[in-house]
Amino acid sequence: VPAPTLAGRDDPNHKEMRSIFDQAFRPGKIKELEPNVESLSYELIDAFLDDGYCDWVEQFSIPLPLKIIGIQMGIENEEDLWKIKKSTDAFFHRIGMMLSQEEELETIEREIEGQHYFQPIFEKLRKCPNDTLLSELVNTEIEQWGRTLNDNELHAEMMADTFVGGSETTTNALSAGIKLLIEKKNIWGMLKENSEKYLKVFVEEVLRLESPVQSLMRNTHKEVELNGVKIPAGSIVNVRYAAANRDENYFEKPEEINLERKKAGSHMAFGSGIHHCLGAPLARRELYWGFKAALDSFDDMWFSEGKNDFEYHPHYLLRSLKELHIEFTPNPKR
């Protein structure tokens, strides 16, 4: 049954559990992964480059972060990854709070299928540990608890903080960024001319403007007053990161992409404080190489005529484009 995930825990409980993940996402580990991120970005584009068109969401935005988290977790078999994706998609839709009761029950059944996939892997790793993130999650004892994570906690982490947190959010940003580049040709031109100067700032502006995680829920432990409004203790508050990221009191002309923006990384897309997204450094590298591969591979790109309705999955917390059909002129130098 569902157990509290990392995002839903308070200190000291949160800090003690996060220590397992901090090891896996330390800078040295991310640096080791970067060559995989870079090469995979170009490989995915090479698979459709000669076609002159693609569904960017299905053929690039989804597989790039999914395969990278698969490498981290030691699950690189394509068939298994898409099986996991089916279950984590179910979790993604359920937490969006936009389903009927019947639809929610269907998603829970698919989540349980994912649990049946992972359970024997947990048991195998307990007997034969390896050097993967999944093995660390299964076998690392949390000193203050005097135990490792139990099955319920592990299953919760598979859905929330690893495969959804580690892939779905980056998928959304990769899709949003390409859509913005097609809509704003001046930004595309600046990046084509000098990606070394502007690309890292563009990544931050995509995260700020599109906020793949639009909001999360928090509980008030005591009564607080905000802007003259009293919020009673025990209230559920929906913290809208997307609104904060377009705050005109903090960001000048927040509705615009500004590749010269100072402190571009000071947005709230990854949260803040003790719950700041532990996967942020990896997400930034995936976005950087995803956009870099597109800049290097396409001379120009545009929306496929008549194929896009630009619909987003109905979701209360995340912003996720369903599909993005684009056409492009391949760079002959690739």
Residue 53 host element (H or E):
strand 53-55
pLDDT of residue 186: 98
pLDDT at 27: 82
> Average pLDDT of the chain?
95
Q: What is the pLDDT averaged over residues 13-38? A: 90
Please say if the pLDDT value at position 81 is more than 80.
yes
Dump pLDDT digits (tens) for 305-323: 999 999 999 999 999 999 9
Closest by alpha carbon to 310, among 129, 171, 149, 175? 175
pLDDT for res 2:
83
3-state secondary structure of 177: helix
Q: Would you say residue 24 has pLDDT above 90?
A: no
pLDDT at 107: 97
Amino acid 100: pLDDT: 96
pLDDT in tens, 133-163: 999 999 999 999 999 999 999 999 999 999 9
Please report which confidence band the pLDDT of residue 23 belongs to, taking 50, 70 and 90 as the band edges.
confident
Q: What is the pTM assigned to this prediction?
A: 0.96
| Mean pLDDT calculated for residue range 69-78 | 94
| pLDDT value of residue 28 | 85
Chain length of the chain = 334
Per residue in 57-71, pLDDT tens? 999 999 999 999 999
- Per-residue pLDDT reduced to its tens digit, 200-241: 999 999 999 999 999 999 999 999 999 999 999 999 999 999
CA–CA gap between residue 209 and residue 251 (Å, rounded): 11
Neighbours of 254 (CB within 10 A): 17
Angle, alpha carbons 131-133-134 (nearest 5°): 100
Q: What is the pLDDT of residues 262-290, one digit of tens each?
A: 999 999 999 999 999 999 999 999 999 99
Q: How many helices (H) and strands (E) does the chain have?
A: 13, 7
